A and B are shown apart, each in its own frame.
Chain A
Amino acid sequence: MLEGKFEEASLLKKVVESIKDSVQLCNFVCSEHGITVQAVDDSRVLLVSLLIGNEVFSDYRCDRNITLGVDLKSFAKIIRCGGNDDYLTLIAEDSPDSVTLVFEDKNSDRISEYSLKLMEIDNEFLKIDDMDYDSVIKMPSIDFQKICRDLSTLSESLQILITKDSIKFMAEGETGNGSVILKPRTDIDKPEQSITVKLNNAVNSTFGLKYIADIVKGTSLSNQIVIKISNRTPALFEYKLQSGYLRFYLAPKFED
């Protein structure tokens, strides 16, 4: 049996809102360690990988592995019914047909209970080995979101160039071009404002901005985003959770 209680419903709300436009049907695999999701978008360009570690929950028990096949659009509708600050408990039997969501308002005795029918989802799994990346950058997630949104007004593609002392984001379009250059900086008082670059090799990679527009929906999950890039291989965009992560793997674009 699964019983996982979130101190605040807002965390799961944010997670679902962050991935529901990238993937619709996915298996939430629950184990004693927490809940994991891996799913690929229909175009097979973007992969979502989620771990909600058991330490995120104020109470958590899962005696044996349970898979919850969830339609995220329906899940999102139900989860919006609860308040952000409510306790949220997920409950499922060992071989469940449905998952129950219990919202408890902390300021009153109101308890709301919803159940979502589950689906049999036959999704394949992509094996992702640990890789040595050419470059790892860490920067404020909100800045990355703004840069991508600004440059998406000009182009469908975002070019990222990384050298040891700068990160350059570029977009070239029919109406004009744009670029934003960032330099590494350490902010001792506000570490979440820091920008770091670890470089093994200089990077020059290009990505579709429509996919990046989906990735940056994870911005509210973490102050910082970690971007790991190698030339000509998928990049990893990561928002760290208190225990766990939301990762997106995005295949690059190539020159014709």
Chain B
Amino acid sequence: TGVQGRLDTFFKVI
């Protein structure tokens, strides 16, 4: 039921 997204795709690591 779909592919799990990752937060790194959306938020910049600082």
Contact = CB atoms under 8 A, between A and B. Distances in A.
B1 A251 contact: no
B3 A126 contact: no
A44 B14 contact: no
Contacts of B11: 47, 126-128, 234, 249
B2 A256 contact: yes
Contacts of A155: 1
A128 to B, nearest CB: 6
A127 B1 contact: no
Interface in B1-14: 1-14
A251 B14 contact: no
Contacts of A124: 13-14
A40 B11 CA distance: 12
Contact of A125 (B6, B9, B13): B13
Nearest to B13: A124
B1 to A, nearest CB: 4
Interface residues of A, number: 26
Contacts of B2: 157, 206, 253-256
A40 B8 CA distance: 10
Interface in A150-188: 155-157, 172
B13 A251 contact: no
A208 to B, nearest CB: 6
A205 to B, nearest CB: 10
A74 interface: no
B13 A254 contact: no
Contacts of A157: 1-2
A71 B14 CA distance: 22
A43 B9 CA distance: 13
A155 B11 CA distance: 28
A126 B7 CA distance: 9
B10 A233 contact: yes
B7 A44 contact: yes
A213 B4 CA distance: 16
A61 B11 CA distance: 32
A69 interface: no
A76 B4 CA distance: 29
A206 B3 contact: no
Interface of A: 40, 43-47, 124-128, 155-157, 172, 206, 208, 233-234, 249, 251-256
Given A126-B12, A157-B1, A251-B7, 10 more contacts: A43-B6, A44-B6, A124-B14, A126-B7, A126-B11, A128-B11, A157-B2, A234-B10, A251-B6, A254-B2
